């Protein structure tokens, strides 16, 4: 399926926000709208990273409309700037459902973008104005404190030192405090009920391995359908940086399979 890349500029209460929109060249209808947040530790990256992401696979396979916000980055714009921008993008996607042919809303992203997707799901639930149907936080950056896998981690592309630096820039004055809100670090959440069903994948050698599985287990305990596929690799974002490997191909296939189940509304209670 041939895709178009478009730029939409919208006005928000925090100023202009650019959105990268990927959609089929020949638009259909009744397709998922995927709000996809890019990775980069909350301090780097760009919306055009969506062109390398699993969300692009969903657009090709299912005709999904994918929206990627150019959210503000730390340290110039610490929390909650990025989340505010992502919520504004969610409002735009929801308001333009009919024009875009979108029938359901999915939020997702990789790494820090996965953390933003989880935080956005919590924020949308608590505000109660927009329904998110599913969430896809891929190897998400969720926990501002060390876990068993992020402590003393020296894996490729992301490690303990970079993780600490990124959280320090993103949280600003909140860094190191026990009262960090769950919208900033979703692992701080106490109530996981009524959140959208979740699919994710992660590799067993990267820093975010433990927090990803802990997030899925917390959702399950709250009665939310959730599933995590674990792959054997030692590089963060392995599917994006080594797309030609078999493990990356397997991760892509698993992602597409679970998106298909969500589109058919078959991603349900068997995953609890």
Q: Record the tokens describing residue 197, joined without a space.
A: 């069903």
**Residue 256's domain spans which residues?**
3-265
Distances (CA, A) of 47 to 79, 183, 189: 18, 21, 27
> What pLDDT score was predicted for residue 29?
79
pLDDT, residue 268, reads 72
Burial of 181 (0-12, 13-18, 19+ CB in 10 A): middle
Determine, yes or no, domain membership for 142.
Answer: yes
Pairing mode of beta strands 102-110, 31-37 = parallel
* The predicted structure's pLDDT at residue 155: 82
Is residue 271 predicted with pLDDT exceeding 80?
no
Q: What does the block give as tokens for 42? A: 């909350």
Residue 254's contacts (CB-CB under 8 Å, 6 or more residues apart) are: 201, 229
| Tens of pLDDT, residues 123-138 | 999 999 999 999 999 9
pLDDT digit string, tens, across residues 195-204: 999 999 999 9
Where residue 127 sits, what CATH number does that domain have?
3.40.50.1820
- Cβ atoms of 3 and 25 closer than 8 Å: yes
pLDDT at 270 over 80: no
Tokens in use for 13? 């209460």
pLDDT for res 32: 95
272 lies in some domain:
no
pLDDT of residue 213: 98
Q: Does residue 189 sit within a domain?
A: yes
Residue 100 and residue 93 in contact, taking contact as beta carbons nearer than 8 Å: yes
Could you tell me the pTM of the whole model?
0.97
Q: pLDDT tens digit string along 223-236?
A: 999 999 999 999 99
Q: How many residues does the chain have?
A: 272
State mean pLDDT over 166-180.
Answer: 97
Asked if the model's pLDDT at residue 193 lies above 70, the reply is yes
Residue 115 lies in a domain: yes
Number of domains in the chain: 1
In angstroms, the CA 209 to CA 22 distance is 29
């Amino acid at each position: 399926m041939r895709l178009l890349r478009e730029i939409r500029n919208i006005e928000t209460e925090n100023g202009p926000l650019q959105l990268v929109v990927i959609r089929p060249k020949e638009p259909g209808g009744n397709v998922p709208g995927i709000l996809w947040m890019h990775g980069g530790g909350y301090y780097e990256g760009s919306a055009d990273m969506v062109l390398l992401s699993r969300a692009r696979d969903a657009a090709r396979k299912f005709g999904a409309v994918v929206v990627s916000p150019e959210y503000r980055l730390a340290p110039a714009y610490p929390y909650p700037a990025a989340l505010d921008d992502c919520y504004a993008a969610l409002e735009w996607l929801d308001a333009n459902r009919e024009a875009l042919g979108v029938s359901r809303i999915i939020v997702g992203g990789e790494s820090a973008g996965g953390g933003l997707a989880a935080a956005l799901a919590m924020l949308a639930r608590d505000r109660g104005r927009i329904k998110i149907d599913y969430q896809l936080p891929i190897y998400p950056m969720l926990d501002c404190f060390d876990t068993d896998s992020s402590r003393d981690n020296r894996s490729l592309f992301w490690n303990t030192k970079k993780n600490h630096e990124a959280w320090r820039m993103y949280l600003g004055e909140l860094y190191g405090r026990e009262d960090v809100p769950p919208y900033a670090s979703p692992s701080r959440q106490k109530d996981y009920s009524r959140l959208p069903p979740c699919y994710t994948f992660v590799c067993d050698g990267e820093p975010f391995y433990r927090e990803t599985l802990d997030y899925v287990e917390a959702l399950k305990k709250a009665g939310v359908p959730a599933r995590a596929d674990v792959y054997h690799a030692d590089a963060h974002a392995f599917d994006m940086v080594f797309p030609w490997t078999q493990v990356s191909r397997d991760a892509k296939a698993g992602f597409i399979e679970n998106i298909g189940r969500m589109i058919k509304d078959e991603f349900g209670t068997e995953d609890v």
